[in-house]
Amino acid sequence: MFIKVGKMSIPEIREKVKNISQEAWPEIIEALQLDTRKGVQNIALRMENKLVVVEKERFRLKQLQEKEAGLRKKGYKLIGGVDSV
């Protein structure tokens, strides 16, 4: 996905990135980081931070699934509250 950020206002960029799937974000973030405007760089930073949060959650869910799979192998059939303290 390619957007010409240099000719867009910051509100236009903000609106445009709302409609872009997260899979395309790394490429968009790179383009935004090249822009010298502070507001555009802030948009890129927020997108990066959100990607970090999403990746951490994916990792957490993967660990839970692995733990549940291990319990199923041990013979447990009903598993609940694995993520609870």
pLDDT digits (tens, 9 = 90+) for 1-29: 567 888 899 999 999 999 899 999 999 99
Phi/psi-derived region of residue 4, left when phi > 0, alpha when psi is between -120 and 50, beta in every other case: beta
Alpha helices in the chain (DSSP H): 10-18, 25-34, 38-73
Helix (H, G, I), strand (E, B) or coil at 24: helix
Residue 54: pLDDT over 80: yes
CB 41 within 8 Å of CB 68: no
pLDDT of residue 82: 73
pTM: 0.75
For the segment 43-69, the average pLDDT, to the nearest whole number, is: 95
Supply the mean pLDDT for the chain. 90
70 burial type by CB count under 10 A (0-12 exposed, 13-18 middle, 19+ buried): exposed
